[in-house]
Structure 1
Amino acid sequence: MRDLLGDQVLDLLLERSKDGKGGLRLTGEGSMLGELVKSVLERALEAELSSHLGYGKHDPAGHGTGNSRNGKIGKTVQTGVGPVRLAVPRDRAGTFEPVLVPKRAGRISGGLDDMIISLYAHGMSVRDIQHHLRQIYEVELSHEAISNITDAVLEEVRAWQARPLEAIYPVVFLDAIVVKVRDNHSVQAKPAYLAVGIDTDGEKHVLGIWLAKTPLDHATAGESSRFWSAVMTDLKNRGVRDILIACTDGLAGFEDAIHHAFPHTTVQTCVVHLIRNALRPVARRDRAAVAAELKKIYTAPSAEAAFDALADFTASDWGAKYPQAGRVFEAAWDRFTPFFAFSPAVRKLLYTTNGIESLNYQLRKVTKARGHFPGDDAVVKLLWLAIINIEDKRARERAAHKEKTGKIKNSPSTARLIEGQRTIGWREALIELDIAYPGRIR
């Protein structure tokens, strides 16, 4: 760029971009970048008009053609570097329709739209984006304009939500984050459920995002067999034919719905959630000791040994002091024990929904700044954008490390959180799953 423009032009731009205090203004009206954008756009508009007319400026070939240049009209457009005042050329017949800067368009898409979508994906509200653009770039956009820009991704979101899935998922994790949404003319807390499936190649994928609808005769949305039946039907319609193990946190109505859709699926409750629920009534000073006793239950070598460990805990002083801790495991026993059929390596895979919880932790950072969402589509849109943003960030970190060292770095800080992440130890796990579920993995 420096060789192309020359130092004289750059020095002139530099001088014109200084503010009253002698500082440099790179963005905003009259700035260096603003002047460059103005020059490029006006040059491109002149080229568009020449193409429309069929001859260049001052070209004698234009005489007698019936149409010619007819001066210019001033117009201010919003760009990624701030407002830019353009001189848009016109033709005498009024048939010139600029493509680069369309008539009645108040902004130039591309950089500005990408910036707004990026700010939205990072959790900024529409009001915050308005303030940011006004403060940094002197760009004035209405609430409706910003909403329309972010709504442009809805078609991509719907296509992603409806995309075909694999026929078999050996393991599927389900978890939820709670968001505030306006539904039935009131703002309420609603769970947004995410499903992460591990395919037969050991790669993780977000299968979808679902929000429960609020019945007209209910005040709040919640889990139900009808809701989960709709989710399972969606998965089947998109090509899923079998799920070996579904790891959840005791979702109400889920077990009946998944067994109706996939009769042979094993439901495994999240052990970490069980531990949290068991420790909830325990006093802080006793938690370490009680947790150590509970560990004997879920690290037992077999389901029978785990049952004996639970009986020992119930009969102990800690069990007598905190009987609710033991009841948590008793109530979920049938959903707690399936992972005992596998080796420690596979148990670690099924032990917890932490893989999806790490994603939800990132998503909560994006949603917590919102007061509430205007509807379900707004929730799905933001969560999808946030997932894409998280994935892109990890991809850039891996690319930077590879460029610097020539090696691909796989660590918790750089691994892809969900999409395409390879499950560690999957080959051994697949062998055990194939033995435990003969003929179902192809």
Structure 2
Amino acid sequence: MSTNHGAEQQLEGERGSSVDSVAEQRIAEQLLEQARVDGVRLVGPGGLLAGVTRRILETALEAEMSEHLGYDKGDPAGRGARNARNGHSAKTVHTDLGPVGLKIPRDRQGEFEPQVIRKHSRRVAGFNEMILSLYAKGLTTGEIQSHLAEVYDADVSRELVSKVTDAVVEDLTNWRNRPLDRVYAVVFIDAIVIKVRDGQVANRPVYVAVGIGLDGHRDVLGMWIGTGGEGAKQWLVYLTELRNRGVADVLIICSDGLKGLPEAIESAWPLATHQTCVVHLVRNSLRYSNRRDWQAITTALRGIYTAPTLDAASMRFEEFTDTWGTKYPAVIRLWQTNWERFTPFLAFDVEIRKLINTTNMIESLNSRFRQATRRRGHFTTEQAAMKVLYLVVTEKRRAGQNIAARIPAWGQVLNALAEQYSDRINDN
């Protein structure tokens, strides 16, 4: 009986969703037809949707006034009441659809405090988010000001744009000091280069640590702007910061041969397996070879890193050396230099190998970092750079998207990790 009732509820929900969808479709069609007949634009300043937005906001304001007074407009119950409506005041607010002129209801006692459009506010919810989104995409305050003026006919000063973006500094500080999980299955450490003016414009490395927890979820653990002269001492500062925020153990750390990092890892997490990132190793190999040979080289290298055992990988590397050593000796030296850090990969179960090779998240993040920083050319300060990078990291979260999606088939991966690191996983 309960099963049938549950099925009926689900069917009713689907019907309701279908009805809502049909109603929304009809409204959209009516709006389009009205825009065509009246000869007005659908979006932009003076567009039909801006008019609809005005009606919705004014209706919401009138409803708030009725709730405040305790009776509806024109209701006889309001006769002789202590407080009453007292006309309207004009106000223009900025919305995602452009500037909208509103009639704000007033009460005689001056006690009405609207929540939809708060007193002294000239922007509805979403306007600040739009500024932050543009800032995260690398636009300068001047470019944002021009964009808002051109697209939304909004007269927004550079000072206001700066004030909105500066408001994230506290969030950034809290984010950089938030507590982390006790154990991470894998931590990827990568770097990009940005330009920062410190007396003169100079290249500065930005290091990013992305972790995969034992629950299979990914997270950006930390970001640091380096000084350019990185070594074990500086790296130990970064990793100690992660330890102080709660990271007691890391099973596997993947990086791209960053100077001084191996020594710092051994000091911070002596049991961690430090693995050279295979994706970066292959990509760096292609830098030393001609494009016409890339397909053959990547196929041969795939045979090395997919080998079932270390002996099999060594044999395939010898074959690779015989084929390409004369033409591309730099590629051979690259693999020989990184061989000791590459070989731990060969001892892992296939599920763990797939996990380590899954660098899509950090690659996507770096791509968005580069897009945002390339537009600017350089940053005036480290804080200005960190604000943009932080907004890039949190952009999907602010948009309400799920950024903490679990690794696919995580149960199988965790089983493989448990076989390799049983005591350290079972204890946590």
Q: Closer, same or farther in 2 for the Cα pair 1:109/1:373, shift >3 Å?
A: farther
Determine which of 186, 189, 201 is the counterpart of 2:215.
201
Q: Which residue of 2 aligns with 1:319?
A: 325
1:1-80 alignment to 2 at 5 Å? 22-24=39-41, 27-28=44-45, 33=50, 37=54, 44=61, 77-80=93-96
Q: Closer, same or farther in 2 for the Cα pair 1:297/1:188, shift >3 Å?
A: same
What TM-score comes out, normalization by structure 2 length? 0.74
Q: Which residue of 2 aligns with 1:230?
A: 237
Structure number having the greater helix percentage? 2
Q: Work out the percentage of aligned pairs sharing the same amino acid.
A: 42
Q: CA deviation at 1:297?
A: 2.9
Post-superposition CA distance 1:124-182 (Å, at most 9, x none): 44333222221222111011101222333333333222221111112111112333333
Determine which of 270, 281, 286 is the counterpart of 2:277.
270
Determine which of 193, 209, 217 is the counterpart of 1:178.
193
Q: CA deviation at 1:222?
A: 5.0
1:408-423 alignment to 2 at 5 Å? 419-423=404-408
Q: In 2, are the aligned partners of 1:42 and 1:88 still within 8 Å (CA)?
A: no
Q: How many residues align?
A: 394
Q: Which residue of 2 aligns with 1:130?
A: 145
2:267 paired with 1:250: no
Determine which of 241, 252, 259 is the counterpart of 2:248.
241
Post-superposition CA distance 1:350-370 (Å, at most 9, x none): 246344213322443344333
Determine which of 392, 395, 400 is the counterpart of 1:389.
395
Structure 1: gaps spanning 5 or more residues: 1-9, 215-220, 396-415
Q: In 2, are the aligned partners of 1:38 and 1:84 still within 8 Å (CA)?
A: no
Q: In 2, are the aligned partners of 1:175 and 1:353 still within 8 Å (CA)?
A: no
What TM-score comes out, normalization by structure 1 length? 0.72
1:48-197 alignment to 2 at 5 Å? 77-84=93-100, 107-182=122-197, 184-197=198-211
Q: Closer, same or farther in 2 for the Cα pair 1:138/1:333, shift >3 Å?
A: same
Q: In 2, are the aligned partners of 1:28 and 1:34 still within 8 Å (CA)?
A: no
Aligned counterparts of 2:237 and 2:278: Cα–Cα separation in 1? 26
2:424 paired with 1:434: no
Q: In 2, are the aligned partners of 1:34 and 1:81 still within 8 Å (CA)?
A: no
Aligned counterparts of 1:83 and 1:342: Cα–Cα separation in 2? 59
SS at match of 2:424: coil
Q: In 1, are the aligned partners of 2:117 and 2:124 still within 8 Å (CA)?
A: no
Aligned counterparts of 1:32 and 1:275: Cα–Cα separation in 2? 51
Q: In 2, are the aligned partners of 1:247 and 1:353 still within 8 Å (CA)?
A: no
Q: In 2, are the aligned partners of 1:247 and 1:352 still within 8 Å (CA)?
A: no
Q: CA deviation at 1:188?
A: 2.8
Q: Which amino acid letter does the alignment assign opposite residue 383 of structure 1? A: L
Q: Which amino acid letter does the alignment assign opposite residue 268 of structure 2? A: A
2:344 paired with 1:348: no
Q: Which amino acid letter does the alignment assign opposite residue 230 of structure 2? A: E
Q: In 2, are the aligned partners of 1:38 and 1:85 still within 8 Å (CA)?
A: no
Q: Which amino acid letter does the alignment assign opposite residue 248 of structure 2? A: R
Aligned counterparts of 1:100 and 1:287: Cα–Cα separation in 2? 58
2:211 paired with 1:211: no
Aligned counterparts of 1:72 and 1:348: Cα–Cα separation in 2? 64
Post-superposition CA distance 1:291-340 (Å, at most 9, x none): 444444323322233234334443x2521232221111111121110011
